[in-house]
Structure 1
Amino acid sequence: MGVHHKLSAEQPSTSEFQPTSTIVDIHTHTYPPSYIDLLASRDTVPYIHRPSDGSDPRLIILSSDDDPSKPVEKRGRPVDVSYSSWDEKLKFMRQHNISTSVVSLANPWLDFLPSHTALGTAQQINNELNTACESQNAKQDSTQRLYAFASLPLSAKPDEIVSEIQRLSSLKYIKGIILGTSGLGSGLDDPAMDPLWSALEETSIMIFLHPHYGLPDAAFGGPDVIGRSGHVLPLALGFPLETTIAVTRMYLSGVFDNFPKLMMLLAHSGGALPFLAGRIQSCVEHEREFVANGGSKQGPKRDVWDVLRTNIWLDAVIYGKAGLKGAIEAAGPNGIDRLMFGTDHPFFPPLREEVDGKWTSVQSNLAAIGGIGVSQESVQKILSRNAARVLNLEL
């Protein structure tokens, strides 16, 4: 893998880089009030518990959150107004000089819905997002704009899912869809996903692939080990590896061969995919089972590097310079053009005193972008121009 950009080696502190120009946030979430109510009506994962003492509700969306050894008031994480309030979203944007946000429903999206309610619920929530964006963008005195990634009713009938994809292409402020790694329940390499891939390819809708299910608890040593470190193992390792495995399964099964125009934006800089792409390619080239090597199984027809540089974009939610440099290099000679800034708001809020109202998690991403030694023009591509171009945003 050749070096395509002049990248510096020194890691800056989170306070050294303060961009003054436009910022677009393509990785930012919300739980609309109707979705909060939906989760609050449940008592199995995913669900929201509303304490009787009036304190913030508790969000329990991971299996590791639902620890029966803890009282329900201590499970998961507190959900304050920042998770559902548009005013809080806009306030956060002002604090961090973000002019435009592409907001998506946070995990676990709509994967858990029964089939007979999935389509109606998806349409309701997607319409809510589009209307909220329309209302904000119509304000003549506002410098802040909102767009959205919609959610699909994946437990609905396949033709209903396809119909919603087609409907979304006509909603002005919907700029893509957010998708988990389970697909219809059997992963993104499931042949039953083909009608969805076809519809997404035909409508040129961007897929924002986001993890949620992580790895089995046993991979980390079991619930007792996970419990000693809270969310660190599932979020720091489980999420990125979930993304990496899901995309690699798509690649090996020929999804990118069969649907060469798919557009995928991978959360968290693609997990470990940029780092492991070379190893994946080498294993493919040495797999005796594949037709290309004398075997009987087709195997992928395209080079993994070609997929990375043609079908895949990466967000810059990586929190460090080394990971960001790897993501840029993996994305090819024009790697700078395939990275987009994100914050993951409202997750990872400051647990200590803020500096000038700035979130440490956001400043870490900005510091990495400002510290890799590329031109100001390249920095601005990552911060806003790539998103504006790829998603057709009016800044």
Structure 2
Amino acid sequence: MLTVDVHNHFAPPEIIAAARAGDGLDGLRVEVVAGQEYMVHRQGFRWPIEPTFYDLEARLAAMDARETDLAVLSLAPTLLMYWLADAAEAADFALLANNALATFAAGSGGRIVPVATLPMQDTDAAVAELRRAVTGLGMKGAQIGPRMEELGLDHERVRPVLAEAARLGVPLILHPYNVGKRAGLERFYLSNLIGNPLESTVGAAHLVFGGVLDELPDLRVVLMHGGGYLPYQIGRLDHGHHVRAEAKGCALEPSAYLRRFWYDTITHAAAPLRFLVDQVGADRVVYGTDFPFDMGGGPAGEQLGGVKLDDADRELIYGRNAVDLFDLRTEA
């Protein structure tokens, strides 16, 4: 059965080398603790640097071990760099990251499918880089955050980027990012455990309530981490749309837009994954792992093993949905 992982990450070797040398972008540096390298952000967040982030041989070996045929690869979201004050520096970084990822994928024999990162601080630069990445580098879409710092995805500065993705016919992966503290979520790693699904939910809600999905009927959006809380609290959004004037910006009730999104399988439990499939349909669920971060999910058989699915639905989730969504027929 064809297996396509749509949610796994890459770190450019150049960025890691600079951080090791003490000259990392935005103050990035590498620390070694008990033999393990960590990327450390000036804002406080740190994450282990596994060779699979940047070493092609290690990545392909890991894919083999997980019985993954194809991997849709995106930049580690901690490196989105939307917080850089210098828009030109952000554009240069996106150029470097996308070129590095394209080179990485080119050596994989077609098994790694790259998607772009964009300098969202500058709308025109982001649109231009998306166009270059898709038409020049052959990338199959882009990964963006569920917000651009303080701006929601329905903001006028963000909409041209979404419109360009729709025009090009490529999907956008929405992935939370955070390298600092989140008020009220500082302890117990809640910044990730609760904060990441929350951000995905807010990003999706902005697209719905802001009328973006009405305006861009061809826009395709992939939500990570099982869609955050969106599929599980959609009734609350519907109710708010009915009773609150502030929530009437969409043409239909929010539940009507659930199938405008695709959702990865990372729920870390069989029951919510089964609920997700029932709620949105097997044709809107795609296998993902968040590899190689420690909060990632396991191989497809492990994630879906406890979920009752017929063979046709299992085949869709394992890989066929991703083939259609990212136009991977040649690779498949």
TM-score calculated relative to the size of structure 1: 0.76
Counterparts in 2 of 1:215 and 1:336: CA distance versus 1, 3 Å? farther
Counterparts in 2 of 1:307 and 1:366: CA distance versus 1, 3 Å? same
Do 2:39 and 2:48's aligned partners in 1 also have CA atoms closer than 8 Å?
A: yes
Alignment of 1:71-220 (within 5 A): 76-108=46-78, 109-113=80-84, 114-137=86-109, 145-155=111-121, 157-171=122-136, 173-183=138-148, 185-213=150-178, 217-220=182-185
Query: Could you report, residue by residue, the CA deviation over 1:361-382 in whole angstroms, capped at 9, with x for unpaired residues?
Result: 405x633423222111211110
Do 1:215 and 1:238's aligned partners in 2 also have CA atoms closer than 8 Å?
A: no
Q: Give the letter aligned to residue 329 of structure 1.
A: D
89-98 or 280-289, which deviates more:
280-289
Query: Could you report, residue by residue, the CA deviation over 1:222-246 in whole angstroms, capped at 9, with x for unpaired residues?
Result: x4xx1xx3x3x22221110111112
Do 1:337 and 1:386's aligned partners in 2 also have CA atoms closer than 8 Å?
A: yes
How far does residue 383 in structure 1 lie from its aligned partner after superposition? 0.6
Please state if 1:23 is matched with 2:23.
Answer: no
Do 1:215 and 1:242's aligned partners in 2 also have CA atoms closer than 8 Å?
A: no
Counterparts in 2 of 1:61 and 1:318: CA distance versus 1, 3 Å? farther
Do 1:32 and 1:84's aligned partners in 2 also have CA atoms closer than 8 Å?
A: yes
Q: Give the secondary structure class of the aligned counterpart of 2:263.
A: strand
Q: What corresponds to 1:384 in structure 2?
A: 319
How far does residue 329 in structure 1 lie from its aligned partner after superposition? 2.6
Please state if 1:261 is matched with 2:218.
Answer: yes
CA distance in 1, matches of 2:235, 2:324: 29
Counting aligned pairs with the same residue, the percent is 25
How far does residue 33 in structure 1 lie from its aligned partner after superposition? 0.5
Do 2:31 and 2:39's aligned partners in 1 also have CA atoms closer than 8 Å?
A: no
Q: Give the letter aligned to residue 374 of structure 1.
A: L
Do 2:3 and 2:70's aligned partners in 1 also have CA atoms closer than 8 Å?
A: yes
CA distance in 1, matches of 2:103, 2:87: 25
86-95 or 191-200, which deviates more:
191-200
Poorly superposed stretches of 4+, deviation over 6 Å: 43-46
Query: Could you report, residue by residue, the CA deviation over 1:100-158 in whole angstroms, capped at 9, with x for unpaired residues?
Result: 111111012232442122223212221222222222226xxxxxx11011100122x32
TM-score calculated relative to the size of structure 2: 0.89
Which one of the candidate residues 273, 277, 283 is aligned to 2:240?
283
Q: Give the letter aligned to residue 378 of structure 1.
A: D
Do 1:45 and 1:60's aligned partners in 2 also have CA atoms closer than 8 Å?
A: no
Counterparts in 2 of 1:216 and 1:120: CA distance versus 1, 3 Å? closer
Q: What corresponds to 1:312 in structure 2?
A: 261
Structure 1 unaligned residues grouped into runs of 5+: 1-20, 66-75, 139-144, 291-297, 350-359
Computing the radius of gyration from Cα coordinates, the structure with the larger value is 1
CA distance in 2, matches of 1:391, 1:23: 14
Counterparts in 2 of 1:61 and 1:250: CA distance versus 1, 3 Å? farther
Query: Could you report, residue by residue, the CA deviation over 1:60-100 in whole angstroms, capped at 9, with x for unpaired residues?
Result: 349453xxxxxxxxxx3332322221111111111111111
Q: Give the secondary structure class of the aligned counterpart of 1:362.
A: coil
Task: Note the aligned Cα RMSD (angstroms).
Answer: 2.6
CA distance in 2, matches of 1:89, 1:368: 20
Query: Could you report, residue by residue, the CA deviation over 1:170-195 in whole angstroms, capped at 9, with x for unpaired residues?
Result: 14641110111232642212221121
